[in-house]
Amino acid sequence: MLGYTNLDSEKGFTFFQRFLKDNGILDELEEAGIQEGDTVRMYGLEFDYYK
């Protein structure tokens, strides 16, 4: 699950979340030590990581 701070629509957020999950990026974030509640900056976006 992702929280977001600067995605301008729910549709955009849903697409981005699906993109991260489908491409294994969420798994990579965990492997890199990103923890729940951390703010992540990626692809010009900033979001809070939640499972």
pLDDT in tens, 10-49: 676 777 778 888 999 888 888 999 988 899 888 777 888 8
Q: What is the pLDDT of residue 32?
A: 92
Q: How confident is the model at residue 3 (pLDDT cuts 50, 70, 90)?
A: low
Closest CA to 42 of 10, 1, 7, 8: 7
**24 or 1: which leads in pLDDT:** 24
pLDDT at 7 > cutoff 60: no
- Single-letter code of the amino acid located at 13: F
Residue with tokens 């294994």: 24
DSSP state for residue 5 in the 8-state scheme: S
pTM: 0.56
Closest CA to 20 of 37, 7, 2, 38: 2
